[in-house]
Amino acid sequence: MFAAARLIAAKDLRLRLRDRSFLIVGIIAPLGLAFIFNLIFGGFLVPGGLDLQYGIVDLDRSQSSQALGEVLDQIEAEGFIEVFRYDDRDAAIAAVEDEEIDAFMLVPSGFDEALAAGKPTLEVIGDIDQGTATSVAAAIARQYGAGVDAARLAVVTAAQILGQPPTPDLIGRLGDPATAAFTAEVVDVDAQVRQLDGTTYLTAGMAVFFLFFTVQSAVLGLLDEERDGTLVRLFAAPVRRHAVILGKALLAVMLGIVAMATLIIASTFLMGAEWGPPLGVAVVTLAAIVAASSIIGVIAGLARTPEAAENLGSIIAVVFGMLGGVFFPIDTNGGALALLSSFTPHHWFLRGLGEIAGGAPWTDALPSAGVLLGIAVVFGAIGWWSLNRRFER
């Protein structure tokens, strides 16, 4: 049976590789879309790709307001933002409207007195089209305020314990609320959940999205041959039915391997994608290919006609792609969307690649590959049963 299945798969593979539709759907379309999406969205997805430009308007000109400027200068020295200073609110707003800066922080007059009273106010004003940059500016302002509160609390608590008003010496030892409220340090840390860079994420997403269409052409070829009458003649030959079905399954896997390997190699050299350790990439990719082939096998076994199977397969591919995060990242920190995403092979493929990103060992991809193989086993068993039942004679 296995020898016959290999012959069927090899013969069909030669035919499919000469078919322009395979080249378009399996390689050109995903690589082209990944390239286009990378041009459009790559700057927002690649770490360090955001060019944050902030302004500061200091109307108070006190020691406290100068401390905020020093905080921004410290972050600028790390190379993450660029800071511009403006004399008044109107000049800063004009800079935002002219897209010279993304957002600015306004320190109002009387900020130092409000700080002493425990009611300081900082304004953060940003471009409506620069939501991420504005949110980062707001986070910096909030952290500055939290640091101010912490320093004030330390001074007041110490004064109460000592039973005397805050003295210059006490403030000097515990930290002036204005100047010692906030320190910024940018360091590299090991994240619990690793992430792909923008280019690799977009390429991997398009690859697994079009993978379903690639393997679909192989598996649904059984239904085309059934409709055209060639499958009946094949079953009449001294070839077991199981060998024919297994041959089509092997064809789907081989087409998936050719398409995915080509995309991985091409995106690495043409787009600078960083997929991770080759062995880990190979394991999770092969598991995704088998899972996709198994799901399409179920569709082929249950659909009445080739057209119905193709339409249903396309719908499932698109829905799984959206839920799996191939077009945009899905928040996996709980919620209905995160739960639905966990049922898709796309999610586990991208997660597996993410786990081995940044120099992690290839074995970190094994849990995700295991889930994909579990999906393959469940759907593969259903597909095998439904296809054999369909073609029983």
Question: By CB neighbour count within 10 A (0-12 exposed, 13-18 middle, 19+ buried), where does 74 fall?
Answer: middle
Residue 172 has a pLDDT of 47
* CA dist., res. 21 & res. 79, Å (int): 47
Domain that holds residue 376: 2-45+197-390
Q: Is residue 189 part of a domain?
A: no
Q: According to the model, what pLDDT value does residue 135 have?
A: 84
Is the model's pTM score more than 0.85? Answer: no
Among 280, 285, 283, 284, residue whose Cα is nearest residue 258: 285
Residue 315 lies in a domain: yes
| Confidence (pLDDT) at 160 | 62
CATH assignment at residue 59: 3.40.1710.10
Contact 296, 313 (CB under 8 A): yes
Interacting residues of 15 by C-beta distance below 8 A, sequence separation 6+:
none
- The stretches in the chain having pLDDT less than 70 are 1-2, 40-50, 115-116, 118, 145-195, 236, 238, 331-334, 393
386/141 Cα distance (integer angstroms) = 61
Helices 2-17, 241-270: axis angle to 10 degrees equals: 40
The answer to the question of residue 23 being in a domain is yes
pLDDT value of position 179? 46
Residue 64 lies in a domain: yes
Note whether residue 290 is domain-resident. Answer: yes
Tell me if 186 is assigned to some domain: no
CB 110 within 8 A of CB 59: no
Residues 152 and 245 in one domain: no
Judgement on whether residues 373 and 251 belong to the same structural domain of the protein: yes
Closest to 324 in 3D by CA, of 306, 352, 298, 350: 350
Is residue 180 in some structural domain?
no
305 class by beta-carbon count within 10 Å (0-12 exposed, 13-18 middle, 19+ buried): exposed
Q: Is there a single domain that holds both residue 141 and residue 226? A: no
- Same domain flag for 300 and 330: yes
79 and 117 assigned to the same domain:
yes
Rounded Cα distance, 220 and 331, in Å: 34
- Do 330 and 249 reside in the same domain of the chain? yes
Say yes or no: 209 and 122 in one domain. Answer: no
327 and 372 both lie in a single domain: yes
Q: What domain count does the chain have?
A: 2
